[in-house]
Amino acid sequence: MSRNAQADRVNVQGADKSPAAKQTIRDMTVGKPSKLIIQFMIPMFLGNVFQQFYNVADSIVAGKFLGVQALAAIGSTGSLMFFVTGWLNGLSSGFAILVAQWFGAKKYDKMRHFVAMSVYLSIGLAVLMTVGFLFANEPILRLMNYSDEIMPDVKGYMGIIYAGLIVTAAYNSLAAFLRALGDSRSPLYFLVISAAINVVLDIVFIVYGGMGVEGCAYATVIAQGISALLCFIYIVKRYPILHLKKEDFQISLQSCGRLLALGIPMALQFSITAIGTIIVQGAVNIYGENYMAGFSAAGKLQNIFATVFAAFGVTIATYVGQNRGAGKIERVKQGVRCTQIMILVYSVIAMVLIFFFGKYMTWLFISPSETKVTEVAVLYFHTVFWCYPFLGSIFLYRNTLQGLGYGLVPMLGGVFELAARAGIVLLVAGHTSFVGVCLADPAAWISALIPLVPYYIYTMRKWKTA
């Protein structure tokens, strides 16, 4: 056994004896699957809520203090934000799958090497994205049918977000490495702190500094930078197993290729889904500011409910990745079965809450006197709520396949989503009522499952006979 491997063994064994470390590194290859998944998922859900809170807080402060036009400007960027940050999130999640697999296989030298290669790739791609999106900022917004009145606010807001993509990439990568080792709690704590800072800075910049919607963007970037810094300091102090050495940074094109083979399909899957939501947002923009504001408020609330689905998705990817690395395919199937049941139960709860209480939730963003905006949000909720079980299942099967190391079919699910959304929009936008545009989401969620579920069944049968 090499000196590094001996050190790793000491580190892991020592962590097993330390109560604090037991709460961080989690080996998901042993123990009851349902218990492990719940324990990992809850911090992930709370972390997703606080990550969503950045844009939600911006929308709330803008809507309350700057008015409907500001809410329409910031809120309507949600799909574009999802496109940009989703690419970085997809890359980091894809990279982390290999980290989780090597951690599950107990080959820590390999694990650190892939962490180092992920750092190279994340920095390089974040810089390229910043330059590209800053250059294409206004042309993209023109394609989304923004009016001249609202264009300056949206352009300024997104320009600042683009300039801060390097800190977004830093946090996503560091948090993904921690989750690959079974630690979903630590990233949550840092997000809670940074989300609170974001709210404070929103109020300071807008209410007292008079900065307008650009103040929200500055608050978001600063808060994300703080969360990335805290994550880095924590890894340095608490995770010797992730301490990288000079030899870990020896560039390997083969290793970079393996990372990109998982990261790019996941990033494309996020981006393809986001392109579909951008197309829908462009269709909504045709109907005017009240529809933009109502659709944005509804979307923000729905995203909060959907964070549970996303948390199950990231959890099952880590669980499957570790068990795939350990060669325990039967545990993979057990984990998928219990997660599907939990998703269905939660879907029913979310459907009831959204249908009966969605109206009152929109008042977080706007005054109750804005009745037209509220009506638009409620109309959207009542059109899509029944399809939440399909939405949750997308996260389950897509992330399961990604955890197994398959990137192409999950991306194909995104292509089906995009085709469904684009088809609905082309048929109804500007020709029928707003309800027609709302139907794009249910159509997309059902379509995405068409390639995912059959391929999962095929994969499990293949592993069974292998």
Is pLDDT above 50 for 15? no
Q: Give pLDDT tens digits for 315-338.
A: 998 899 888 888 888 899 999 999
**Residue 4: pLDDT over 70:** no
pLDDT of residue 52: 67
pLDDT at 426 over 50: yes
Give the pLDDT confidence of 455-465 residue by residue, as tens digits.
Answer: 999 999 887 66
pLDDT of 6 reads 40
* pLDDT value of residue 55: 61
As given in the structure block, the two tokens for residue 160 are 């600042």
379 or 238, higher pLDDT: 379
Place of tokens 């083979």: 261
Q: Model confidence at 1, in pLDDT bands (50, 70, 90)?
A: very low
Q: Predicted confidence band at 108 (pLDDT cuts at 50, 70, 90)?
A: confident
**pLDDT above 80 (res 82):** no
pLDDT at 183 over 90: no
Q: What is the pLDDT of residue 54?
A: 61
pLDDT-based confidence at residue 466 (cuts at 50, 70, 90): low
- Look-up of token digits 């800075």: 201
| pLDDT at site 8 | 42
What pLDDT, on the 0 to 100 scale, is given for residue 84? 83
Query: What's the mean pLDDT in 403-429?
Result: 85
Highest mean pLDDT among 83-87, 109-113, 425-429: 109-113
Residue 11 clears pLDDT 60, i.e. is over it:
no
Dist. CA 417–CA 423, nearest whole Å: 10
Tens-place pLDDT, residues 441-456: 999 999 999 999 999 9
The predicted pLDDT at position 25 comes to 64
Q: Which long-range contacts (CB under 8 A, 24 or more apart) does 202-211 make?
A: 202/57, 202/58, 202/61, 203/61, 206/61, 206/62, 206/65, 206/66, 207/61, 207/65
> Residue 116 has which token pair?
């180092």
Element (H, E) at 319: helix 289-325
User: pLDDT digit string (tens) for 246-269?
Assistant: 888 888 888 888 888 888 877 877
First to last CA, the chain: 31
pLDDT recorded at residue 53:
65
Residue 196 pLDDT more than 90? no
295 token code pair: 């659709």
* Mean pLDDT on 372-387: 93
What's the pLDDT at 22? 43
* Cβ proximity of 320 and 332 under 8 Å: yes
Give the model confidence (pLDDT) of 117-159 as tens digits.
Answer: 988 999 999 999 999 999 988 888 888 777 777 788 888 889 9
The span from the CA of 461 to the CA of 466, in Å, is 9
26-73: per-residue pLDDT in tens?
A: 778 888 988 899 988 888 787 777 666 666 666 777 776 777 777 777
Average pLDDT over residues 391-414: 88
What is the chain's mean pLDDT, rounded?
83
pTM: 0.68
